[in-house]
């Protein structure tokens, strides 16, 4: 399994997951120009993907739905005017070709938001962003993955020093906002294992966080795994790829 995080943050989100026989895309935010160029750069034809998974209905996650009008689209909310769309429900597993997909509920300021646990015959990837917290009862589901792409949105001290309105700061800090660096680290401490190889910290605020701060918090929290696990901080507009593809898809 190989993944490419094309963009991550409040201005757009999109992740591509490649297996031996198929390709999945999670979210399709950003601009048409940026996404089409990024797909070209990673050598993936976005018109042939096996499925588009949506996490929630905020524009930075669904702005370019038209690019995938011919694909099977899976979402936790209703999609009108798209005949090849399917409603997904938390904890109800489904398959897309070689992939097993399990949506898990998250907590954000939208009617419903989900993260995805994606597995094939050999590997497991966990994708979670845009949530104020992760339920401890879901830790067994996300435990023991090869790859984690997990939100590490803000540093509370940096956030409070920004010029953002107080109500917005409170929203971000709330249970329906975004996970802080420390909150993300505390979750990862409890779910990563000897199997885990790569962690990507995602949806990092450009105003209320910094990559060096994120990595310092994570390195301190996960010190026992530093020789084993690659930990990287994603930027808003920069392709970040990882995973392993044993053989080329035909």
Query: Radius of gyration (Cα) for the chain, nearest Å?
Result: 17
Q: Supply the angle between the helices 181-191 and 211-221 in degrees, to the nearest 10.
A: 30
Question: How much is the pLDDT for 248?
Answer: 47
Q: What is the pLDDT of residue 250?
A: 41
Q: Is 99 helix (H, G, I), strand (E, B) or coil?
A: strand
SS3 137: helix
Give residue 189's pLDDT. Answer: 97
CA pair distance 127, 119, nearest whole angstrom: 11
Query: CATH for 2-241?
Result: 3.60.15.10
Question: Which stretches of the chain are assigned E, i.e. beta strand?
Answer: 2-7, 14-18, 23-26, 51-53, 73-75, 85-87, 94-96, 99-105, 114-119, 124-128, 147-151, 198-202, 230-233, 240-243
pTM: 0.96
d(CA 91, CA 80): 23
pLDDT for the residue numbered 232: 98
Nearest-angstrom CA–CA distance, 104 and 170 = 25
CB 93 within 8 A of CB 53: no
The per-residue pLDDT string of the chain (250 residues; one tens digit each, 9 = 90 and over) reads 999 999 999 999 999 999 998 999 999 999 999 999 999 999 999 999 999 999 999 999 999 999 998 899 999 999 988 888 999 999 999 999 999 999 999 999 898 999 999 999 999 999 999 999 999 999 999 999 999 999 999 999 999 999 999 999 999 999 899 999 999 999 999 999 999 999 999 999 999 999 999 999 999 999 999 999 999 999 999 999 999 976 544 4
pLDDT (0 to 100) of residue 246:
63
């Amino acid at each position: 399994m190989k993944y490419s995080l094309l963009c991550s943050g409040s201005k757009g989100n999109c992740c591509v997951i490649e297996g031996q026989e198929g390709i999945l895309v999670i979210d399709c935010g950003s601009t048409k120009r940026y996404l089409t160029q990024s797909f070209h750069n990673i050598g993936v034809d976005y018109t042939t993907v096996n499925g588009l998974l949506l996490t929630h209905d905020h524009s930075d996650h669904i702005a370019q739905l038209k690019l995938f009008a011919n694909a099977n689209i899976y979402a936790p909310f209703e999609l009108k005017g798209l005949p090849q769309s399917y409603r997904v429900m938390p904890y109800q597993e489904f398959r897309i070709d070689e992939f097993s997909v399990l949506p898990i509920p998250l907590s954000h300021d939208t009617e419903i938001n989900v993260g995805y646990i994606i597995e094939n015959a050999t590997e497991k990837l966990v994708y979670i962003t845009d949530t104020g917290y992760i339920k401890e009862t879901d830790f067994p589901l996300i435990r023991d993955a090869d790859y984690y792409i997990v939100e590490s949105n803000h540093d509370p001290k940096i956030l409070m020093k920004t010029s953002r309105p107080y109500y917005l700061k409170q929203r971000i800090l709330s249970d329906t906002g975004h996970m802080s660096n420390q909150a993300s680290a505390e979750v990862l401490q409890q779910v990563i294992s000897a199997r885990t190889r790569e962690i990507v910290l995602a949806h990092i605020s450009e105003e209320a966080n910094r990559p060096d701060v994120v990595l310092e918090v994570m390195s301190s929290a996960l010190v026992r795994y530093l020789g084993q696990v690659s930990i990287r901080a994603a930027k808003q507009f920069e392709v970040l790829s990882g995973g392993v593809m044993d053989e080329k898809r035909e």
